[in-house]
Amino acid sequence: MAEIVLDKVTKRYPDGALAVQDVDVEIADGEFIILVGPSGCGKSTTLNMIAGLEDISSGELRIGGERVNERAPKDRDIAMVFQSYALYPHMTVKENMAFPLRLAKVDDATVEKKVAEAADILDLGQHLDRKPANLSGGQRQRVAMGRAIVRSPKAFLMDEPLSNLDAKLRVQMRTSVSRLQRQLGTTMVYVTHDQTEAMTLGDRVVVMRGGLVQQIGAPQFLYDHPTNLFVAGFIGSPSMNFVPATLENGSLRSGLGDVTLSDRIRNLLESADAPREVIAGIRPEHFEDARLIDDASRSRGATFTSSVEVLESMGSDKYAYFSISGEQATSAELAELAADVGTSDVPGDGISLVTRISATSTAKVGEPAEIWFDADKVQLFDPATGKNLTYSGD
Amino acid sequence: MAGVGGAETTARKVRWGVLNAVVVIYALFPVLWIASLSFKSAATLTDGNFVPREWTLDNYANIFATTEFVRALLNSIGIALIATTIAVVFGTMAAYAIARLDFPGKKLLVGVSLLIAMFPQVSLVSPLFEIERSLGLFDTWPGLILPYITFALPLAIYTLSAFFREIPWELEKAAKMDGATPGQAFRRVIAPLAAPGVFTTAILVFIFCWNDFLFAISLTSTERSRTVPVALSFFTGSSQFEDPTGSIAAAAVVITIPIILFVLFFQRRIVAGLTSGAVKG
């Protein structure tokens, strides 16, 4: 067990392309940290550099206080689980898990013991003599984990370990990965493109985009205080609604009507030197059916009326979808998010909104509903730089 | 509907069965014929019967009684085995490099090896004859092994690099993460998985060397290095007036046996889909 420090770690390919740029992360001993971002953001490259499978172009990587830039993977004492599992097909489950120990020339009795322990933790006892070809996806995934945990490494690296499982198994394995990490108390670096995994698993999350770290923090902190449009749009599901808006004498004019901003937000905007044109971001849960709001809250926010396009009842809440007139918010970061999700070419008129309202709401599809939103929870972003003008995290 | 479907599949099975039988008979008939000839005595050789009326092993006894054939058989086995071993060893190394590494001149190397494989061998016979004569390689084992390797190596590289490309690269990365040196990763993970490819290649190369007639007849002149296909063409009867057909037939059957054994032996190791289960589901 050890802490992992990335000090201005950069990966530049021979053709000059920058895959990862000046990544500074200090991963504490026993911490579960997630690297998350859309494909091509450099998260896997960063993981491979920690593993030693890719060279570090500049910067320093320290594991347990020692510089390991020049060490081969085998001398770094870290284990890795691959997205494809990469099980050795000519070996049985047992041989697969014993492989790292055999290479380390551990004696037979210890190998038996360690493999049995790992098999016990991962519930693989009855499959030890089978070949990977005869295992289900979930079982293969567990063998891959078993191979990583048998030799009690300093740290685990996981490269999208759950992305090949079907949805239900993924949820199940997610909790067992989390439990496993707590049980072993080993430092874990976990790469995923799935923001749900990032939110639910990690002690801290590193959001990356285009080889740059956007923000590092606890999942809830990133959710509440995104530093820019990209993090705001990436973290959270359904994602944050973005509406172009104009600031005028402390009030915000947008397709959702005019809102007087709270003093807190006004102060933040002043110190951030906000431009006139901004992008307002509102999380779905900060909307509510106006009929269910008491007067005190009502005065804190603003309401708009629009007809419900789609209504999804989730039992505990309802998701109501609206589309309001006006131009969609545009910025480079939002375009990248849309491209990643694959919605960039979905045609749509106006601005689409997702709201999460109470299950007791009587809103109906096709009928107008009056919707309230909390003005104090609105986050404002600079369209040019993507910066959160209302960031109050520090 | 089920009845109709059943009748249809039966009819289909019969149709395919007949077709398969025709193909198998067509392919095996000459082999059976030569086997039949090899068991006939000199007197009944030309009687036109498919099944010999008098079975005899004289032909086999005769060919093994002459040093001409035995020596040629040894030459054939030795030359083919040595050429196969060298071609497969170098082919494995080259194919691994081609499949895994990016190095300058890789495309050129692949292109040149393809060119060599395509080159009409007959146009090389005269220059090779002259070269080998002046180098003292004419009518020696190396004199045949070298051209065999030259033509077998591209074949080996092509077959093997296709196999290496099938092996997921992540397995090698996983081995490295598990603490293997590059050498250990190759020996314990990559090589066992590439084994079917190596055996397939070995069979192909061996057959190529074993069957060659063109180089063997041009680059040899005596029993010292003459291989079986050539020796066959020099067969004469025990006297000038005797027809050597029976001996040739017996020799032909004998030289088929090593190929059959070779294929049977290695076939068990060519397990398709050995890498299944390595990655994904």
The answer to whether B279 contacts chain A (CB < 8 Å) is: yes
Q: Which of A194, A229, A264 is the last residue of a domain?
A: A229
Find the CB nearest A89 among B175, B176, B277.
B277
pLDDT at B6: 60
From B186's Cα to the closest Cα of chain A, the distance in A is 12
Looking at the fold, whether A52 and A137 belong to one and the same domain comes out as yes
Could A80 and B193 be called an inter-chain contact, meaning their C-beta atoms sit closer than 8 Å? no
From B122's Cα to the closest Cα of chain A, the distance in A is 44
- Give the domain CATH number at A326: 2.40.50.140
Whether residue A388 is contained in a domain is answered as no
Q: What is the mean pLDDT of residues B37-43?
A: 85
pLDDT at A103: 92
Kindly provide the ipTM of the predicted complex, given to two decimals: 0.81
Looking at the fold, whether A214 and A339 belong to one and the same domain comes out as no
Looking at the fold, whether A223 and A234 belong to one and the same domain comes out as no
pLDDT at B40: 87
From A36's Cα to the closest Cα of chain B, the distance in A is 21
Q: What is the pLDDT along chain A (394 residues), one digit of tens a residue?
A: 589 999 999 999 988 889 999 999 999 999 999 999 988 899 999 999 999 999 999 999 999 889 999 999 999 999 999 999 999 998 999 999 999 999 999 999 999 999 999 999 888 989 999 999 899 988 999 999 999 999 889 999 999 999 888 888 888 889 989 998 998 999 999 999 988 899 999 899 999 999 999 999 999 999 999 999 999 999 988 889 999 999 988 888 888 888 888 888 888 888 888 888 999 999 999 999 998 888 888 888 888 899 999 999 989 999 999 988 877 777 888 888 887 776 665 556 678 899 999 999 888 999 999 999 988 889 999 988 889 998 876 6
Q: Which of A229, A258, A283 is the last residue of a domain?
A: A229
- Give the domain CATH number at A179: 3.40.50.300
Is residue A211 a contact partner of residue A40, using CB atoms and an 8 Å limit? no
In whole angstroms, what is the distance from residue A132 CA to residue A128 CA? 10
The answer for A 93-152 residues in CB contact with B (under 8 A) is 99-100, 103-104, 131-137, 140, 147, 151
Whether residue A392 is contained in a domain is answered as no
Q: Which of A229, A255, A278 is the last residue of a domain?
A: A229
Find the CB nearest A82 among B170, B273, B277.
B170
* Span B82-124, pLDDT tens digits: 999 999 999 998 998 898 888 888 889 888 988 888 888 888 8
Is residue A228 a contact partner of residue A381, using CB atoms and an 8 Å limit? yes
pLDDT at B7: 66
Quickly state the pLDDT bin for B177 (edges 50, 70, 90). Answer: very high
State the total domains in chain A.
Answer: 2
Could A133 and B276 be called an inter-chain contact, meaning their C-beta atoms sit closer than 8 Å? yes
Looking at the fold, whether A122 and A164 belong to one and the same domain comes out as yes
In chain A, the residue whose alpha carbon lies closest to the alpha carbon of B280 is: A84
A-B C-beta contacts closer than 8 Å: 87
Quickly state the pLDDT bin for B145 (edges 50, 70, 90). Answer: very high
Looking at the fold, whether A15 and A73 belong to one and the same domain comes out as yes
The answer for B 171-190 residues in CB contact with A (under 8 A) is 171, 173-181, 184, 188-189
Could B193 and A90 be called an inter-chain contact, meaning their C-beta atoms sit closer than 8 Å? yes
Q: How far is CA B175 from the centre of its chain?
A: 34
State the Rg of chain A over Cα: 24
Looking at the fold, whether A53 and A201 belong to one and the same domain comes out as yes
Whether residue A143 is contained in a domain is answered as yes
Whether residue A79 is contained in a domain is answered as yes
pLDDT value at B271 more than 70: no
pLDDT at B90: 93
Could A99 and B178 be called an inter-chain contact, meaning their C-beta atoms sit closer than 8 Å? yes
pLDDT at A32: 94
pLDDT at B86: 96
Looking at the fold, whether A266 and A196 belong to one and the same domain comes out as no
Q: How far is CA A31 from the centre of its chain?
A: 16
* A5 C-beta neighbours (distance < 10 Å), count: 18
Helix (H) or strand (E) holding A347: none
From A70's Cα to the closest Cα of chain B, the distance in A is 15
| More confident of the two residues B196 and A285 | A285
Q: How far is CA A207 from the centre of its chain?
A: 7
pLDDT at B78: 94
CATH architecture of B62-267: Orthogonal Bundle (1.10)
The answer to whether A55 contacts chain B (CB < 8 Å) is: no
Looking at the fold, whether A43 and A123 belong to one and the same domain comes out as yes
Whether residue A391 is contained in a domain is answered as no
Looking at the fold, whether A154 and A225 belong to one and the same domain comes out as yes
**Domain, as residue range, for A17:** 4-229
Looking at the fold, whether A45 and A124 belong to one and the same domain comes out as yes
pLDDT value at B280 more than 80: no
In whole angstroms, what is the distance from residue A128 CA to residue A117 CA? 12
Looking at the fold, whether A143 and A40 belong to one and the same domain comes out as yes
- Bridge partners of residue A280, in order along the sequence: A243, A380
Amino acid at A203: D
Domain spans, chain B: 62-267
Chain B residues with beta carbon closer than 8 angstroms to that of A104: 179
Looking at the fold, whether A182 and A238 belong to one and the same domain comes out as no
Chain A residues with beta carbon closer than 8 angstroms to that of B277: 87, 89, 131-135, 140
Percent of chain B with pLDDT over 70: 90
